[in-house]
Structure 1
Amino acid sequence: MPTVSRTFSVDAAPAVVVPYLADFGNAEQWDPGTEKCTRNDSGPVTVGSTWHNSSKIAGVSTELTYTLEEQTDHRVVLVGRNDTATSTEILEITPDGAGSSITYTNEIEFHGAAKLAAPLAKVLFEKVGNDTEKQMTEVLNALAP
């Protein structure tokens, strides 16, 4: 199972970062692979909210349904599923001065024949992790007062 993790600091405080990241519709702004991310339900974003995510990584398009599985004052867990993979995105947010320290971990579990791609995917997802850290940092810094 390929796993990518990055820890970095941003200027926005946890009170801003947590609800922003919990709303996975914002992935269009911070996730370089996301092309479109549309909420499936309505009302306040809460545990159980879902999104339809269309992504393209290294020229390969995929669609997953993401569910907000956990949200606390310091942690957001989103899980995307389709027939070939489960992507678990864990975001741990702690105060860091006036801003936040974020540990972003993405675990990808392939299903069926797609499991054969896991070793190659690890290399690809390391680059995606670098791109995500850069883009997420820029977007979250722009949210700081």
Structure 2
Amino acid sequence: MMKIDRTVATSAPTSEVFDFLADFTTTEQWDPGTVRTERISGDGGVGTAYANTSRFLGRTTDLTYVVEVYEPGTRVVLRGENKSVVAHDTMTFVPTATGGTSVRYVAEFDLKGLARMVAPLLTPAFTRLGDDASAQMRTTLDRLGR
């Protein structure tokens, strides 16, 4: 399993940050690997499905994500899957003492088939992906707080 675990602090209030990130279509704005995400069913809560196209190491891949947990203002968990990977994305939101928000974003990737064999070689690329996504998330969320 490959894992990205980052915490991003922003001055934006928790309600705004939650509403923004819980709508997974916003990945186009804060996840540099995302090419496109569209909601294909649901109202944003549990059971909502998103079609996501991402680019990783020069390859484009499509995943279908489904919201498994939706706790307003607190936590969102999504599960994405295609033929080569199962992804679990968890976002946890904690208000800060200054009125901002701390977001912990954990993405776990269970690779399938041949991808599993090369997983150890992908560690640097996943680390870079996590660093880039957290930096872009921080920049995007700070714009909400203005």
Q: TM-score range by the shorter chain?
A: over 0.9
Q: Which amino acid aligns with 2:63?
A: L
Shift of 1:62: 0.6
* Matched position secondary structure for 1:40: strand
Shift of 1:7: 1.4
* Matched position secondary structure for 1:88: strand
**1:97-136 matches, cutoff 5 A:** 97-136=98-137
Where does structure 2 lack aligned partners over 5 or more consecutive residues? none
Q: Which amino acid aligns with 2:46?
A: V
Query: What is the alpha-carbon distance in structure 2 between the residues aligned to residue 130 and residue 101 of structure 1?
Result: 16
Q: CA RMSD in A?
A: 1.2
CA-to-partner distance for each residue in 1:28-86, whole Å, 9 max, x for gaps? 001100001111125x3111111111110120111000111111121111111001101
TM-score norm. by structure 2 comes to 0.93
Which residue of structure 2 lines up, in the alignment, with residue 60 of structure 1?
Answer: 59
Query: What is the alpha-carbon distance in structure 1 between the residues aligned to residue 8 and residue 19 of structure 2?
Result: 18
CA-to-partner distance for each residue in 1:103-143, whole Å, 9 max, x for gaps? 11110001122211211222211000000011101111111
> Would you say the 8 A contact 1:86–1:109 is kept in 2?
yes
* Matched position secondary structure for 1:45: coil
Query: What is the alpha-carbon distance in structure 2 between the residues aligned to residue 86 and residue 109 of structure 1?
Result: 5
Where does structure 1 lack aligned partners over 5 or more consecutive residues? none
Query: What is the alpha-carbon distance in structure 1 between the residues aligned to residue 29 and residue 118 of structure 2?
Result: 27
Once the two structures are overlaid, the 10-residue window that deviates more, 25-34 or 9-18, is 9-18
Q: Which amino acid aligns with 1:101?
A: S
Query: What is the alpha-carbon distance in structure 1 between the residues aligned to residue 18 and residue 83 of structure 2?
Result: 29
Identity among equivalent pairs (%)? 35
Q: Which amino acid aligns with 2:32?
A: P
